[in-house]
Amino acid sequence: MHPPGPSSKSLNVGCGHLPRFGWVNLDVAPLKGVEVVHDLERIPWPFPEAWFEEIEMINVLEHLPDTVAIMGELFRIAAPGCRITIRVPYWNSPAAVADPTHRKMFNEETFDFFDPGTRHGRERAYYGQARFSIERMDFYVGLSNALPFLKVTWKPLKALLVVAARFVGGLIWAEEVVLRK
């Protein structure tokens, strides 16, 4: 197991070219600022159980083949009360299908399967051991990857976007969920 240092209670999973100061930066490539080089498909990851107090996984989960296994590993390394932020492309956005390395697509109900407080979480409790509560889900909207995205956090507008996005692709480009163990 990786011996975390004193300021390493935060994990930046799949950091790529965006390592964070004071965090453990994990990536499959030995890039500048990456402290732990590890293939995320190889489970277990090199960290002790219940170690991290905060985990971020930004634009990574869609590249991995087994969402249930990855959520289980996040659950294993997260300390009780850990905050986990995951951002993924929305299922019908151009970003979801543009990258040939994307293996999975996500919508507003995907993470419900890991929250026992939701219908999917109760009905599909056999989908692994990962159990989180969904604290928040926000959406990013925009016209193209070349322009800045707007983060939508207002609940009525988020509900309207979800309904509209079922009929018109490219409205929601990404979703960001904040989970709590």
**DSSP secondary structure string for all residues of 109-170:** TGGGGG-TTSHHHHHTTTS-S---EEEEEEEEE-S-TTS--EEE--HHHHHHHHHHHTTSTT
pLDDT in tens, the chain (181 residues): 555 554 579 999 999 999 999 999 999 999 999 999 999 999 999 999 999 999 999 999 999 999 999 999 999 999 999 999 999 999 999 889 999 999 999 999 999 999 999 999 999 999 999 999 999 999 999 877 777 889 999 999 999 999 999 888 889 999 999 999 9
Could you state, in order of their start, the residue ranges of all structural domains in the chain?
A: 10-180
**What's the token pair of residue 134?**
């969904």
Task: For residues 128 and 154, give the distance between their C-alpha atoms in angstroms, rounded to a whole number.
Answer: 32
Architecture of domain 10-180: 3-Layer(aba) Sandwich (3.40)
| Identity of the residue numbered 133 | S
